[in-house]
Each structure stands twice: as C-alpha cells, then as structure tokens.
Amino acid sequence: MRFDPADRGEKPAPSYYEATRNVALVTPRLDGDLAVDVAIIGGGITGCSAALELAGRGLSVALLEARDIGWGASGRNGGQVLPGLAVGQAKLSRLVGADDARRLWDMSVEAVSLVEQRVQAHAIPCDYHKGYLHAAVKPRHERELEEEVEALAALGVSGARVLRGPEMRDRIATDRYRAVMTDPLAAHLHPLNYTLGLGLAAQAAGARLFSRTPVTAIEEGQVIRLRTPRGTVSAGSLLLSGGAYLGRLWPQMAGYVMPVGTYVIATEPRPDIASLLPMNEAVADLNFVLDYFRRSADGRLLFGGGVSYSAMPPPRLAGKMLARMRKVFPQLGDARAEFTWGGLVDITRHRAPHFGRLAPNILMAQGFSGHGVALAGLAGRVMAEAATGQAGRFDVFARIPQARFPGGRALRVPALLLATSYYRMRDLL
C-alpha cells in the first residue's frame, strides 16, 4: 500500500485535500469487544454511505477503517462526480442485456443526484459544483462525442452539446482539443471533505466509526466475528468495502480487480487559473490513459492522470505531471506542483463494478474502475437495502458477469500492461 512520494524517501507531501480538510470528524480506535447488527470494513465513500443508510434505518452499525476515514481512493481522487459506469452503456448492454443496462444507468443517475442531496441535507462543505466537459483529442474522439450526445438523448438526457471553435474556447482556454461535450449531469467536489462529511452524517445517525482499526481476520457464520488488533466485532451481517486496499483479507475477491496507481498534482493558487476554465467545469479527455482536471475553490489547478502498475509511484512524478498539464495549458509554463499525490483504483477486466455475496450474510462491492465518486455512494445505499431484505437493486449489480484476471497478481500485471500498451499506442494515433 505504498504510493506517496514520501515512500520514495522524498519530502512527505500530503495531498491538497489533506491540507484543506475542513470537516471535524473524530473517530476512536476500537478497543474491546462489540456486537452489532451490521459491520462494515472500509471507511471510504462506499462504507460511509452504507453506514449512513443502515443507521438511518435504525440498525446498530460498526464501521472499521484500517487508517483514517477517507484515507483510500475516496479522499484522494479527481473529485469528478460522473453518471454511468466506467464500462460505457453500449458494452454494458452486451454484458447484461438492454433492460439491466437501463436499470444500471438509472441508478447511476440516482447516484449523481444522491451526492447533491447529501451535500445539501448534511451541509457538507465540499465545494460541490455542477459542470463538466468531455474533451476530444483526436478525430475519432469527435465522432465519439457526437455519438454520446445521441446516446444520452436516447436515455432521456437532453442538454448535452458538442462545442468547437470559439464556443469551446469560451469554456476552456486551450488549443489541445478538437471539441468538447458539455455534460448536463456531472459535477465536481472536494472528495476528502465529502467523504468525511458522509462519515459525520453516519455518526450523527448513530453509526459507530472506528479508525486505525484494521480487520485482520473474518470468521464466517450466522454470527460473523471480525478480529482487529485490540478488539473484536460480532455482527449479523458484514459489508466489505475495502476497494483497492482490501488486499488479501478475502483472497477470492482480489483476483477480480487490479489495483492501479493514478496521480494528481495541485498547482499553487494563481490569478490566471479562473480564466482557464471560466465556468468552473471539470474536464476529462477521451484517451484511455486520460487527463482529468478542474479548478480548486482556492484558485489552483488540480490536474490528474497517468497510471502505474507498481506499488511505488513513478520517479520524478511531479515533473511528469507538470509536463502533461503544460500540454493542455502551455500558459502555466512557470506553475509549480505544490502538492503531488496518488491513489489506487480498483479496475475490473471489463470496467463494470463487481458486487456480490460471499456468504448469505456477507456482501461486497468493489471495482468501480476509476468511476466511483458518485457510484460508490449508491453502492453503499443498495448494499444497505440488501442487508435489510430488499436485494432487488443490489442483484442488478450482482448480475453483471465478472471474470478474474488470469494467473493472480504475477500475471495480472503483465496482462494489463500489455493491454495498456496497446491503448497507449491507440492514444498516439
């Protein structure tokens, strides 16, 4: 679980999000033995969302987080609140059929609304802002944007438009893109403060959240027992929401996802940042190894991208990220990377999430494939529904067929590297 520059012996660099956290969530370490209706492993968006839903239904809940709430992908990501699944609707229809693909789309739209509702209902100070552009780097992407507008219209979403020339430059000050598509549903936010806000809301609803409490063993049964260094939890049901960080706690789950590193920099606050994205929209391009970026509330550019399949961050990471950023915004030639950080994304083979039952009373959700800021919140909700006897919506996700990466981690990495090299090559064409 190493991916900070600090792990290379470089100066510790907390993420921009850590440096600007503004939600005072206090969580103890578990010390002693506890019995609850539902236990949750993992204090990211999935786990905190499930805790909030379950406590709201009157159940006793213990959430166990190995580090701090929001320490995983949920507190480190690009902050882009996206509808849909990473796999895309056309491929999803081929995987699950048209009816389930439509149900999954509708739930993904609910996922986006749920973020906004929760931010408002719990007054979460996370700089939530609507507005998003998908950017075409090459002619093939332009056609994909045109097709996407039609696909969205067929799903009942109006308002998406492809912009070029001066209309595009009114929204983004770059010559890198051939066209952009406005997304009427997507938004962006400060993901750590959002996750901490969900945690605080879950606490207020009665859930008990424990940090610095790694679960080291799970004993199955009608009453499940979880072991942690200083205590145990007995529970009627268990939700596993450890994302890419679950490691080998439940080895059978690990083969279905590949933990992949991806990275973000934050520039210093600059007066010229606002004019780069005058409508404060978040942006991602359509390359396979994509660039994603947005303004921060305090006038920085947060720029993400790059992938690595090693547990270590790439060398000279900040310089590489600055070079990517300057390809989009050469105007930022003298900008510095004041913060550089990364996190692990849990990718499935086909990029559709992986939900399932490991036992009648043990549910899991993982594999959001870089598309979980909105979807993980919905995952927590449908897991809570399933744990309280309404499994219909959870089962739509659980019906998505899954395939293991062949050969365990030793072979997963070369296979994915091969696939990524192919897509990187396509990015150049």
Give contact residues for ligand FAD (rule: CB under 6 A): 41-47, 64-67, 71-74, 76-80, 82, 214-215, 241-246, 249, 262, 264, 292, 304, 342-345, 368, 370-373, 376
Cβ proximity to ligand FAD: between 145 and 345 the closer is: 345
Provide the minimum distance between the beta carbon of 390 and ligand FAD in the complex, in angstroms, as a whole number.
21
Which residue's Cβ lies closest to ligand FAD?
372
Strands (E), 99-165: 129-130, 132-136, 162-163
Provide the minimum distance between the beta carbon of 303 and ligand FAD in the complex, in angstroms, as a whole number.
11
Contact 381, 370 (CB under 8 A): no
Cβ proximity to ligand FAD: between 210 and 329 the closer is: 210
Provide the minimum distance between the beta carbon of 334 and ligand FAD in the complex, in angstroms, as a whole number.
25
Provide the minimum distance between the beta carbon of 86 and ligand FAD in the complex, in angstroms, as a whole number.
8
Element holding 387 (H helix, E strand): helix 372-387
Cβ proximity to ligand FAD: between 80 and 340 the closer is: 80
Provide the minimum distance between the beta carbon of 368 and ligand FAD in the complex, in angstroms, as a whole number.
3
Quote the CA–CA distance of 65 and 283 in Å, as a whole number: 31
Element holding 168 (H helix, E strand): helix 165-169
Provide the minimum distance between the beta carbon of 372 and ligand FAD in the complex, in angstroms, as a whole number.
2
Cβ proximity to ligand FAD: between 137 and 218 the closer is: 218
Quote the CA–CA distance of 7 and 144 in Å, as a whole number: 39
Contact 396, 107 (CB under 8 A): yes
What residues does 238 pair with on adjacent strands? 39, 362
Cβ proximity to ligand FAD: between 88 and 146 the closer is: 88
- Strands 291-295 and 224-228 come out as unpaired
Cβ proximity to ligand FAD: between 301 and 345 the closer is: 345
Exposed / middle / buried, residue 165 (Cβ in 10 Å: 0-12, 13-18, 19+):
exposed
